Structure 1
């Protein structure tokens, strides 16, 4: 273990292993198969990258996306580890060069796509001294997984051809049935299953429901302004929404780009490259975006629409805060999304399981208990305390006797022969003068205008609660009309009461002070930190400027130089010697030699200390 810890510090810059990493690595070094479930940002990659360095020969890494391979390889090379990939975007000569280096034993990790495995299984792969096979994003092999890919099912050939080579399958999300399927599909030999905690305490969890498109855009603009100069992803269900959002955000001087499968490969690659290199702050994307992103300084993720399952949701929010620093997530939930997703589930080849996954996602959105506990429970992990970092914990619900409100709403539904949807119900209760309402004579019913004292947003929230509590249901087969349930009938006729949660409007956005937002970093030398009474703020701004300059000079993502987590540790520790700098999280031998002097010199300059000697 001492030797492994030395390698961990030398190449990755960490003095201690994260939970389960040491046990997994030792298991692999005993040449045993393993299935590793570890959340995004939990340190999965080190579980096979460190054994790859330690073991003789080469490690074969199966990865689903070219972008993911490229990012991983660049990160390894930046840390001084010889790595390469084989993919269809490379020329024949480039591929031959990589193959030759592998055969000569000059590459420690080779990244290859699942499609490529079969093509190379007869001639190229048998010529390699393979010591370990790692299958990343292993949930893709399972029909029960959230991102099934047929090409993954052929990977069982690896156990047939290389029966004595240990195989480690890794994924961030897999429920029990998916785990069993992964083991069977890959034909793993009596593997040990390692399940890390799925808790990501650095991620805040917030759900807002019932907002229309215009309201969501307004909310997103406020949110981004609260996260100025930070990278974030907005996930959308429709391709058209990604482009619409990117255009809308640009009107507010927010640097954003769209990404979806309908764009040309060149446009998709450009969007991804702009995001990775911080030329844009926001990418508005469908779920086609993200698996290939290893960007560690994504500070927030917004879901413009509700995802179809908790697995999808968890994987997507996991792309924020991979470096462990504080990050935020926001999910917009509406009945219209639920209706569309329900249709998708009913038209899928696995109706029952997809509907159940959707129902679990719906319950997460509608809950009034700690959201993190629901997420962890879904993955079989129980916790004793509320998290304190979700919207429910931060704003505990206040309950009141809402029987009269419920009776007003249910009475209006009954008096319209249960032929109306949510929007029309609200217009009736608020006494709106709308042509479609008066044409049907709804302005003449007794409950017309009975809820004028409440706003549109309040009524929408309380009707959602009535549906959630089982007083109303939506008839999806008949134009999404509202129906009063037997339980609702009891409330309507006073046979039982209804407890509702008081609607609390979101807090107004707080404007940051000039000192905390600062000026944008100058790209040109010299570095000019912001003016602030806080030394930490000045140092943070200066370090980010230096990192950006180095990244631009080397044509690599800024987080390949140092992650936000490393910069935060520099601000906290304020290293003024190379020895001090070597103790910073994420500073390995290569980065110490390459960047140590320039970063220490900058820190001494900000602290007004003499220049570093030598």
Structure 2
């Protein structure tokens, strides 16, 4: 073993110019060089690729590296070629090559020049390549991004499932599996599928102490919040992740018109544009890349200073992988995610068309994301626990690097509740997932609980006095605390641990923190960026504006919220608009609204600013890209033509509720919309009058309040449409 050591140290210096290995690299490389099956779990930035590159360079023959992304292969091949005078030392074999290039690759392999051959799994299946590789000397096969093998991994690729069979066809060689993120469930799956249960497993710590984790509520002012955040980190590199290509384009355009150097990146752009945008980011010609998850795999830019998730990802593994692209050099790395439960519901909707097994997996992974976003405990501890790693949230490295630890929520004694929870898990025979445990505690009967006769048990409904959210929070904290665990085989089923059984026998104090509640904000009455971004509105001015709002409302015979919403008043008290033009840039205020009610408000603010020597912010105007003005015009024109709303939504690729939100924005900012033709189809005159009177007398325009008031007489869409009609009539 000793001369292996000398060899690999010499090779490290010779090829890579390093004097010493990082973390687990040395042990991993020794295992590979000595011909053992090896499994490596090493977070992004831990030096994973060197683990197979160096053994490939020192061993006889060609190493095959299976990798899912062409861009990633190209990056690595270029890097390896830079280490040698032989351009053929590393090659790519994939669909992008022409016949002549394929011939050159084969010739270099036959002549022993090629040490690393990067292939996509799809290429490896091709009979002609398999036949060719059978005749060559292969040193080992490395499978990068090995989590793609597992249905539980965040990037499952069916073609990865057959790799073992193909490798055996080529040669009986050692297999190296590598991944930057894997839960216990995924690890087990990888080892089983690759038939390498005897592999030596190396797992590095998942803790990245220099990363700061923060989750903010996702409100209608998210764009202003993001622009303000980027301006506070001027000149620094960052990535913004969105789930859809359309959102990527919209956000990139919005940043550009607001003076931020940004480019979009997604699979819908042609390869040339993608490569160009990637290079612009690497060469620092732009500061921000707005991207779908297609971006960043293997991009080795060490100084990415922030990663923003505009949309919450589908799994914690994706989240970990994507945030892991920040601060690879050990310097500052801020990971900011925006969360609204509405986004989770949207993702659940996407899953509903998939096969049942896939739906179950997708939903289980989504619930972990919900847990992370809503938890009030140390986010780092929660995240590391998910990857099977314990973390000391008092003395551990990076312990104070998240929003929950910096701004702790109050705790309360939950000794009795924890005991009840653990007893219910035990007494219901440890066969339920969190959701059913909560249903059992709160006495909420359903078919599954009925089939096991759980609803007939004496403990059914024992926790009624607390709501579902409370019990869900306690389950999450009991899991992280080690009292409960999730079953690996039937993922998601909650089991009690030895520690949990001991606790039942001898309970001690257990301080529980309350989860965050990201209120379902109705889009028409949403929290402004004053709350979301931590900046606070001028309370004295808010009070004066509210008094004025009431008197203007009285004079016009309308409810106060029909003049300006409270969120608009708060925004005025943050930005101090003193001209009508500035007023139009306030949240929820359009031209019509400003013209109808704005004059006294601008006068009051102007006087207030003068009397109190206020220095007004000069960065408050977020310029619009004008994309929405086209949509606004289309909606106005086609409601005038009495086109069915479903057809308008379809023509613009909107969900029906997205169209309603757009219409709300239009009327709340002061433009009239006539949708009587559509309402008349659903509601008769008396019903309309009843709802209209309700909005006229109500102190709030919240749909939830209206739903409670009418107690099922009208559905949500009917009330939303009536609210649009009401605001249109009385406020505009």
Which TM-score band applies after superposition, normalised by the shorter structure?
Answer: 0.5 to 0.7
Deviations 1:16-35 (A, max 9, x none): 22222222111112211122
1:354: which partner in 2? 362
Summarize the Cα distance change of 1:106–1:166 in structure 2 as closer, same or farther, 3 Å threshold: same
Deviation at 1:183, TM superposition (A): 1.9
Number of the residue aligned with 1:510: none
Secondary structure at the residue paired with 2:338? strand
Q: CA–CA distance in 2 between the matches of 1:282 and 1:162? A: 44
State which drifts further: 370-379 or 386-395: 386-395
With structure 2 as the length reference, what TM-score do the two structures score? Answer: 0.55
Q: Distance in 2 between matches of 1:321 and 1:480?
A: 45
- CA deviation vs aligned residue, 1:169-214 (integer Å, no higher than 9, x gap): 11112222222222222222621222211111121111111322xx
Q: CA deviation at 1:398?
A: 5.3
Q: In the alignment, which of 256, 280, 284 is matched to residue 250 of structure 1?
A: 256
Shift of 1:426: 5.7
> Is 1:433 the equivalent of 2:561?
yes
* 1:269 Cα deviation from its structure 2 partner: 3.1
C-alpha distance 319-479 of structure 1, shift in aligned 2 (>3 A): farther
Aligned match of 2:133: 125
Task: Report the RMSD for the aligned CA atoms in angstroms.
Answer: 3.3
What does the per-residue CA deviation read over 1:542-572, in whole Å, with 9 as the maximum and x for residues that have no partner? xxxxxxxxxxxxxxxxxxxxxxxxxxxxxxx
Q: Which has the higher contact order (CA 8 A, sep 6+)?
A: 1
Greater Cα shift, 340-349 or 237-246: 340-349
| Residue 18 (structure 1) aligned with residue 26 (structure 2) | no
Equivalent positions of 1:48-447 (< 5 A) are 48-80=52-84, 82-119=89-126, 120-188=128-196, 190-212=198-220, 215-349=221-355, 350-386=358-394, 387-397=399-409, 422-423=521-522, 433-434=561-562, 439=692, 441=694, 444=697
For residues 136-185 of structure 1, the C-alpha deviation after alignment (integer angstroms, 9 at most, x for no partner) is 01111222211111221231234413553111011112222222222222
Give the TM-score taking structure 1 as reference length: 0.65
Q: How many residues align?
A: 437
Shift in alpha-carbon separation, 1:108–1:331, aligned structure 2, 3 A:
same
Distance 1:440 1:297, change over 3 A: farther
* Cα pair 1:87 1:112 within 8 Å, conserved: yes
Task: Report how far residue 288 of structure 1 moved.
Answer: 2.3
CA contact (8 A) 2:219 2:526 kept: no
CA contact (8 A) 1:62 1:135 kept: yes
Unpaired segments of 5 or more residues in structure 1?
Answer: 401-405, 407-419, 451-455, 464-474, 482-614
| Structure 1 contact 35–170 (Cα < 8 Å) conserved | yes
Larger radius of gyration between Structure 1 and Structure 2:
2
* CA displacement at 1:277 relative to structure 2: 3.2
Q: Is 2:130–2:170's contact at 8 Å kept on the other side of the alignment? A: no
Instruction: Tell me, yes or no, if the aligned pair for 1:145 and 1:178 is still in contact at 8 Å.
Output: yes
Contact kept in structure 2, 1:421 and 1:480, CA below 8 Å:
no
Residues in 1 aligned to 2:279 and 2:294: alpha-carbon distance in whole angstroms: 15
More helix by share: 2
Separation in structure 2 between the aligned mates of residue 333 and residue 271 of structure 1, nearest angstrom: 28
Shift of 1:93: 1.4
Deviations 1:340-395 (CA, angstroms, capped at 9, x unpaired):
12222333332222222111111211121111101000011011224111112223
Q: 1:441, CA displacement in angstroms?
A: 1.1
SS of structure 2 residue aligned to 1:122 = helix
Instruction: Indicate the SS of the match to 1:204.
Output: strand
Aligned partners of 2:388, 2:693: CA distance in 1, in Å?
A: 51
2:103, 2:523 → 1: CA distance? 66
CA distance in 2: counterparts of 1:159 and 1:189, whole angstroms: 16
Asked whether the equivalents of residues 131 and 170 of structure 2 are also in contact (C-alpha less than 8 Å), the reply is no
Distance (Å, rounded) in 1 between the aligned partners of 2:335 and 2:187: 27
Cα distance change of structure 1 residues 440 and 24 upon mapping to structure 2, 3 Å threshold: farther
Mark the runs of 5 or more structure 2 residues left unpaired by the alignment. Answer: 413-465, 467-518, 528-545, 547-558, 564-663, 669-690, 706-711, 719-732
